[in-house]
């Protein structure tokens, strides 16, 4: 059976992160959503239906993926937002041909026999909604804060499902303290310096290949440290933290997801937050993740252009790709900071900072696209990567979208 993972019409509920990646590339726990689906269904190849805006970039980045092209034959389409389980896998595999499974108005999956056809996430949903449907019970990821609040649970689940039985290069140097070693997985090439404490008493700790943990860092599970990432001297990594590959992280981090190539090297607190790629947070910058009145946190929602109730008391900030935040900044509870920003100053960063913003809170201007591209290219070059033409084309479209969005917002 051929499987195709698709993004549905809820992409913008996950902005600003889904400006630059499909919903399936969002992470919670150790894996991206599509990676977890890939494993549960034992898929032999990656078939994706994603936004038209992302198609060229993903074809370039993943030449072995089938992106928005449907090859002849029978296929099961699976929504990237579903919270997968063994029971749901059975229901999806038993879906009748030329029909769909729905839950509370959301398409869970569909089985079709198609000739060569091209879809994007913008066109597929209309096609699937015309099929005969069957109602089932299923749960979906609905907002970014769902991914944050469930991160500890998903780290535990992914550890049992994907790491517990893998080859474990668990071997510590003199001076490293380990609590509950049976709950720890160490990848090949990991370096841990004297004074490191790994505490897996309350949940697993996974330190992936070639990561470096410097002296006196403390890591409390459940936590995942990605490949070739460096945890700085004296860092405090608390439970519920997932850190991607090739990051540099210091200070205090709790219940946060930091995706690949992002840095928070210095002292300062990051809690209940989600950072996109190529984010840099300066020294002694802190965020709040709990309101003084202990009420639920409201967070900005792009589709409705207003703040909505997250239904959680702990929620820090969401920061889009390629945003830089200077030293000694303060970020208020429930802040959304868009893509491509360059922010600094002592004024509180709060509520919603639009994409491509430059300056100090309360006195923001638009980041010139040419300057943004120049900086992004320099940053990627430091990692021997390139800001290629497909990526530049995407950001040109996003910049135009940002200008139009602000105009529409101003007219409301």
Query: Residue 171 maps to which CATH number?
Result: 2.160.10.10
Same structural domain, 60 and 44: yes
Of 285, 247, 246, 282, residue with least CA distance to 263: 247
Burial bucket for residue 11 (CB in 10 Å: 0-12, 13-18, 19+): buried
Same structural domain, 115 and 193: no
Cis ω before 222 (30° cut-off from 0): yes
| Per-residue confidence in pLDDT tens, the chain, 412 aa | 899 999 999 999 999 999 999 999 999 999 999 999 999 999 888 899 999 999 999 999 999 999 998 777 899 999 999 999 999 999 999 999 999 999 999 999 999 988 778 899 999 998 998 899 999 999 999 999 999 999 999 999 999 999 877 777 777 677 899 999 999 999 999 999 999 999 999 999 999 999 999 999 999 999 999 999 999 999 999 999 999 999 999 999 999 999 999 999 999 999 999 999 999 999 999 999 999 999 999 999 999 999 999 999 999 999 999 999 999 999 999 999 999 999 999 999 999 999 999 999 989 999 999 999 999 999 999 999 999 999 999 999 999 988 876 666 544 4
Same structural domain, 65 and 109: yes
Same structural domain, 125 and 203: no
Which among 92, 122, 142 is the end of a domain?
142
CA 193/CA 7 separation, integer angstroms:
43
Strand order in the sheet with 280-281: 191-192, 212-213, 230-231, 248-249, 263-264, 280-281, 324-325, 342-343, 357-360, 363-366
Give pLDDT, residue 279.
98
Same structural domain, 163 and 122: no
Same structural domain, 39 and 108: yes
Which residues constitute the domain of residue 77? Answer: 2-142
Give pLDDT, residue 174.
77
Of 249, 161, 153, residue with least CA distance to 202: 153
**Secondary structure percentages of the chain, helix, strand, coil, to 5:** 25, 30, 45
Tokens of 79: 């929504």
Give pLDDT, residue 371.
94
Angle formed by the axes of helices 369-381 and 389-411, nearest 10°: 140
Same structural domain, 73 and 192: no
Same structural domain, 129 and 186: no
Residue 68 belongs to domain with CATH number: 3.90.550
Give pLDDT, residue 198.
97
Same structural domain, 131 and 172: no
Give pLDDT, residue 350.
96
Strand order in the sheet with 205-207: 184-186, 205-207, 223-225, 241-243, 257-258, 274-275, 317-319, 335-337, 352-353
Same structural domain, 124 and 177: no
Same structural domain, 127 and 154: no
Same structural domain, 107 and 224: no
Which among 80, 108, 142 is the end of a domain?
142
What's the domain count of the chain? Answer: 2
DSSP structure string for 41-108:
TT-SS-EEE--GGGHHHHHHH-TTSEESEEPSEEEEEEETTB---HHHHHHHHTPPTTEEEEETTEEE
Which among 81, 116, 142 is the end of a domain?
142
Give pLDDT, residue 282.
97
Beta bridge partners, 47, equal 66
């Amino acid at each position: 059976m051929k499987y195709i993972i698709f993004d549905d019409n809820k992409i913008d509920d996950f902005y600003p992160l889904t400006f630059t990646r499909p919903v399936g590339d969002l992470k919670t726990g150790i894996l991206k959503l599509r990676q977890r689906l890939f494993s549960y269904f034992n898929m032999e190849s990656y078939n994706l239906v994603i936004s038209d805006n992302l198609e060229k970039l993903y074809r370039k980045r993943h030449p072995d993926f089938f992106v928005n092209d449907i090859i002849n034959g029978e296929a099961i389409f699976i929504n990237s937002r579903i919270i997968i389980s063994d029971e749901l896998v059975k229901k999806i595999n038993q879906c009748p041909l030329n029909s769909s499974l729905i839950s509370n108005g959301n398409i869970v999956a569909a089985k079709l026999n198609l000739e060569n056809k091209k879809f994007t996430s913008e066109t597929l949903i209309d096609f699937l909604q015309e099929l005969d449907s069957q109602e089932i019970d299923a749960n979906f990821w609905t907002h970014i804060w769902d991914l944050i609040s469930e991160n500890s649970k998903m780290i535990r689940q992914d550890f049992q499902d994907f790491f517990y039985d893998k080859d474990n290069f668990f071997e510590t140097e003199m001076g490293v303290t380990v609590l509950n070693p049976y709950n720890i997985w160490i990848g090949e090439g990991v370096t841990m310096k004297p004074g490191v404490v790994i505490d897996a008493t309350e949940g697993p700790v996974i330190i992936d290949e070639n990561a470096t943990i410097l002296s006196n860092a403390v890591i409390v599970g459940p936590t995942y440290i990605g490949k070739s990432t460096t945890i700085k001297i004296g860092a405090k990594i608390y439970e519920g933290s997932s850190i991607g590959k090739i990051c540099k992280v210091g200070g205090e981090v709790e219940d946060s997801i930091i995706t690949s190539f992002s840095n928070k090297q210095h002292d300062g607190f990051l809690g209940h937050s989600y950072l996109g790629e190529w984010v840099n947070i300066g020294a002694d910058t802190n965020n709040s993740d709990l309101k003084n009145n202990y009420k639920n946190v409201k967070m900005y929602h792009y589709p409705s252009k207003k703040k909505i109730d997250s239904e959680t008391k702990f929620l820090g900030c969401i920061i889009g790709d390629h945003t830089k935040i200077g030293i000694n900044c303060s970020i208020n509870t429930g802040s959304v900071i868009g893509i491509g920003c360059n922010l600094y100053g002592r004024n509180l960063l709060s509520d919603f900072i639009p994409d491509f913003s430059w300056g100090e809170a309360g006195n923001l201007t638009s980041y010139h696209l040419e300057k943004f591209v120049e900086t992004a290219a320099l940053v990627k070059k430091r990692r021997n990567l390139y800001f290629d033409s497909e990526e530049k084309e995407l950001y040109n479209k996003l910049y135009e979208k940002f200008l139009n969005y602000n105009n529409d917002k101003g007219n409301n």
